[in-house]
Amino acid sequence: MKIDVQIQIRDEKIIVDAPQKNHHQEYKNVLGMANGRVVSIGQSLDDLIKENPQNEDKFREEVKFEKLYTPSAEGLEKLHLFLSYQKHQLSAARSPFFSSKSINLILDLPKYENIDARARNQFEFSLTKFVVRTLTINNDLKGWQNWQRWTLEAGRFLSLLMWPFLWYWFVLSTAFLMEGLGVGRWLVYLAGLFVIYYLLLFMKTFILKFFLPHDLLRGELLSPSMGMGKYGKFLVEKLLD
């Protein structure tokens, strides 16, 4: 079952609607921070005090409030946090529809187009990869389509599968040439491991760039979670320029 979840930011409020589930809730466009940690989402100081009056002094001294969504890269990071919070809240309420890959998420974000393009691409990619089936922002369809996600996942799986096999083939093929190198041969084998990794990265990027949008592919391959290092990033940038 496909479910539409609509989130609008209006007049300092974040409004969440899921008509098919009769779900409606409003939050303040506020994030509470204390010592670098998030302590409240969508709640003002008065809301926190009302819930825990015994901690009023602590709240007033330690909690600093800032806007949750602003038209900036940092604002998108905070909004992503809010969406994860919504997923947790709805699942805890035994309404796990938000975590379903059948979700059609519809966002209405003021001045979204003014945000840095790379930040927007990464935000759209992350949501359509991990959270929702489709993403619409300000009436425009964004992010990855299902076939694009599957293509990317297949490319990653195949490269990870081929990497050890190709390295093992390299070791067997060159073993007789390395007999006289002693311990030094393991340095050659280690170097071969990295060469094969970057060769597969080159092949994967070169092939996928003909099927996937370059901005979204760049957002995936250059994500910090990939841990490619500066040489891998340089290679990706050159291939996608």
In a domain, 177, yes or no: yes
**pTM: predicted TM-score of the whole model, two decimal places:** 0.64
In terms of C-beta density within 10 A (0-12 exposed, 13-18 middle, 19 or more buried), how is residue 14 classed? Answer: buried
In the predicted model, residues of the chain with pLDDT beneath 50 are 94
Cα–Cα distance for residue pair 222/226, rounded to 1 Å: 7
Contact criterion met (CB below 8 Å) for 174 and 193: no
Among 142, 173, 196, the domain boundary falls at: 142
**Packing angle, helices 184-208 and 214-221, rounded to 10:** 150
The predicted structure's pLDDT at residue 149: 74
Phi first, then psi, for residue 36 (nearest 5°) are 80, 5
In a domain, 133, yes or no: yes
Beta strands per DSSP E along the chain: 3-10, 13-18, 23-28, 30-34, 37-41, 64-67, 103-108, 134-137, 140-142
In a domain, 51, yes or no: no
Are 130 and 158 within one domain? no
Beta bridge partners, 136, equal 106, 141
Among 117, 142, 167, the domain boundary falls at: 142
In a domain, 118, yes or no: yes
Contact criterion met (CB below 8 Å) for 45 and 59: yes
The predicted structure's pLDDT at residue 224: 61
The predicted structure's pLDDT at residue 1: 64
In a domain, 84, yes or no: yes
Are 24 and 138 within one domain? yes
